[in-house]
Amino acid sequence: MQQVPLPEVPEIKTISIPLPTADVPYYTPMVVPPSDLRDQEDEPVKTVEETPEPPKLEIPVLDIQLPLPTAEVVATATYAAVAAVATTTLATPFFDQIKKKLQKFIQGKIDKWKQKKNQKGKIS
């Protein structure tokens, strides 16, 4: 086997591009007191109001206390349940019609496919 001489590859010079720099602005924060600043001794200290404990359902036989939900939680759950039942009730007939039509369509395609397959088998 004879070796083929390859031409020399010229050296390609690349340009050196320096990385960009930027002067990021900064500032010293200035603290401005509020305009309604008063002495602390003038106003009485406000205490945190204790929230009442939520009502609990006591089951004496099992000695279990179940916390009862607040009215807001019950109302939200009720609205969600009513909306879900209404949507399902109204949408079911539409989905049943669509389901029947799709089943007929797909069954028709399957029947045509079976007929073509049987015809090809009989011709051969």
Show me where the domains of the chain are located: 58-123
pTM: 0.38
Q: pLDDT by residue (tens digit) across 10-27?
A: 888 888 888 888 888 888
- How many Å apart are CA 9 and CA 6, to the nearest integer? 9
SS3 content of the chain, % helix, strand, coil (to 5): 45, 5, 50
Q: What value does the CA radius of gyration of the chain take, rounded to a whole number of Å?
A: 41
- How many Å apart are CA 18 and CA 13, to the nearest integer? 16
Q: pLDDT by residue (tens digit) across 45-63?
A: 666 677 777 778 887 788 8
Structure tokens at 55: 């009502």
How would residue 123 be classed by pLDDT, with cut points 50, 70 and 90?
A: low
Residue 88: φ, ψ to 5°: -65, -45
